[in-house]
Amino acid sequence: MKDKVYQLMNWPKIEALEYEEEEMPEALLGPQAVGNNVILYQCYFKDAKKVSIVWTETGKKTAMEPADENGFFAALVTGKSKKQYQFLVEIENGEKLLVEDPYQFTFTVSDEDIQKLKSGIHYKMQECLGANEATIDGIEGTKYVFYSRRSASVALCLKGMKYYMSKQPGTNLFRIFIPGVSTREPFTIQFHGYDGVVRQVYSLFDRERTESHTWKKDTYWMYEKKNDFFFPFPVHFKEEVPLLEQAKDILPILQSQRNTHVILDNVYQDKDNLFFAAKDFGSVTALQTVVEFFHKNHIGVIARWNPNIFRPAEYRSTFKRNLLVSNLLYWIETLHLDGYVMDSLAPMLYLDYGKKDGEWKPNIYGGVENLEAVELVKHCNSVASKMYPELILIGNIAAIWPNATKDLQMGGLGFTYRFNTDMEEKLLHYICTEPYSRVQRHNALIYHLSYVHSENFLNAFRIEKENAVWNSIPGTGKEKVLTLKALCAFWISQPGLKVADFASLIPEKEKKLRQEMQEFQALCFADYAQNPALVPEKEDASNFQWINNVHGEDCGVSYIRTTQYEDDCLLYITNFSQDIKDIFRVGVPFEGKYRVVMDSTGETEGEEYLVTEKPWDGRNYSILLTVPALSCLVLQYVPYSEEEIFRMVEAKADLYRDRLRAEAKLKIATRKERLRNP
């Protein structure tokens, strides 16, 4: 190398670059003015044999001199201004590559973006970070920006090349612009630590690049109001079938069950990239098409979103909290979501969740709450609800956490609804117990009533437990289905909103039993959706009344669902034992008749029972009936007709007259006897 070039080179920075410890390679590589009309060009291609500069305008070449044996090259060029160029790189095997030099372009992150990032209020981080299209000096390409607090250097690995990124002064952002590259080009990022450890990851901030989706007139997006009837249905897409095809198959089921929304379980947030659709379920465009299909058919769409991706201490990072808020808003806007389920909250809200003593540290107040994670949840709900006032916010907290559905101003987390996972767990334990032992778990049938009105609960059965539940229910296949039918009818009649798919608890190989359960479930769900006793205008403790909830030996309970009108009264009787109750007496609230409008076994539907004036279960009236094994009966109160009342009145009048006549005859006979025997 010529002495003049050698003396102009910054050898400490060159060494730092080669050891992957240089955070500002743009101050070293690319064109650097070193005097009047003199520019020093430098490049670093590991294992390169020869490198030449190819000038874009003329196509001429300028050979570069090797500065060392590690792949560093340099050249002094006389000229008044910097010109666009490429590198022609010849590697050891003789192959020649024409490579762009990103360091000839000036690119910085804007002050506005930096200020928003530092303040934690950059709600479109994906448009600042990751890979985004850009045009610099008239050249189209992609700008890459990534965040790292503890990296000595950061490298972009793209199309077989490794580009070292420059750190934005005063920030933890590393940036580079690559000309002529599409945002769809796959890449990875290498974070080089000061300890020599290299972490190679995909970008959490990059967006999936698919054909842009043009939304047609999406008038149903967030059409339903929060206070309207809400009856979602869980949808768990299969990997091997196109999403739209599955959506079309499930639509008739949703319509027959009167569902208002679907909750998508597994379609986005790839494990390697928060802004990608899950790899096994197609693209973002495919998801948008599915959402549009549901909206056209007046079905709202809610999707699960999991913020529990960091270690507990990482929620202190303003940047990472900002990332999660941006990600949530991205999916709401990109997919036109009507709501979200914030999933897996307990492990992030509680510092001691799943940990032993000594494995966690209390917060600054000595408590178990992860204060930063709590603030993240509140911030997500606050921003999302302000930007989209009709959005439905659902929290999934598998732990005792108070006021999850209270307003943020009242110290709550700001959710619209909260999954009731406790009820699910107890009922599953109950039905998975042998019938003769269910008396010992009787509390599972009634415990949820002690807290059901303390929050806006959404009673849920999670479908991912399908095989475990089916295999654990005692009995034959037919008995298992009877148990699930009884549970479904019982569950749908409990206070609170619901989301479940009982048919999915039956393995797909049991096609006949699964179809039988699906048909019964559709009847139950449709009845629930249109029955004022089950979905009253204002649900409170008065809408549900126990008749008998203390006789655990009966393996069941009895209760009524009602409104202010007697005609709406429904009587529920469950029997989770394997024994038929042939002569079963139950107290009833009103005089009249009770007709079986649903029997989960189908054995007694249509039967009608007259009330007797025999007090029972603390009621003035009662009925005697047959309750099949493994069943739930629903009886509709039927008041006496006018004709029946007249007949009853006449019968009572005749009985009263006969009694008066008998009494009169007895008095006359007694008087005559006294006269004969004074």
Task: Give Cα 184 distance to the centre of its chain.
Answer: 28
Average pLDDT for the chain:
90
Alpha helices in 441-503 (DSSP H): 466-472, 477-492
Predicted confidence (pLDDT) per residue in 247-286, tens digit: 999 999 999 999 999 999 877 766 667 888 877 777 888 8
How would residue 202 be classed by pLDDT, with cut points 50, 70 and 90?
low
Of the candidates 434, 423, 407, the one whose C-alpha atom is nearest the C-alpha of residue 460 is 423
Q: How do 261-264 and 232-235 pair as beta strands?
A: parallel
Q: What are the beta bridge partners of residue 458?
A: 419, 497
Each residue of 584-637: pLDDT tens digit? 999 999 988 999 999 999 999 999 999 998 999 999 999 999 999 999 999 999
In this predicted structure, the answer to whether residue 537 has a pLDDT above a threshold of 90 is no
pLDDT at 249: 96
pLDDT above 80: residue 556: yes
Mean pLDDT of 368-390: 96
Tokens at 157, concatenated: 């690995």
Residue 636 CB partners (closer than 8 Å, separation 6+): 569, 570, 571, 594, 595, 597
What pLDDT, on a 0 to 100 scale, did the predictor assign at position 211?
A: 63
Res 203: pLDDT: 67
What percent of the chain stands above pLDDT 70?
A: 96
Residue 595, both tokens: 């007709």
Structure tokens at 232: 């979602």
Q: How far apart are CA 223 and CA 32, in angstroms?
A: 58
pLDDT tens, residue by residue, 488-515? 999 999 998 999 999 999 998 999 999 9
Average pLDDT over residues 3-26: 90
Pairing of strands 151-158, 300-305: unpaired
Question: How far is Cα 265 from Cα 77, in angstroms, rounded to an integer?
Answer: 60
Tens of pLDDT, residue by residue over 43-72, are 999 889 999 999 998 999 999 999 888 899
φ and ψ at residue 673, rounded to 5 degrees: -65, -40
Rounded to whole angstroms, how far apart are CA atoms 88 and 62? 10
Name the phi and psi angles at 112, rounded to 5.
-65, -45
User: Residue 398: exposed, middle, or buried by beta-carbon count in 10 A (0-12, 13-18, 19+)?
Assistant: middle
| Cβ pair 13, 27 in contact under 8 A | yes
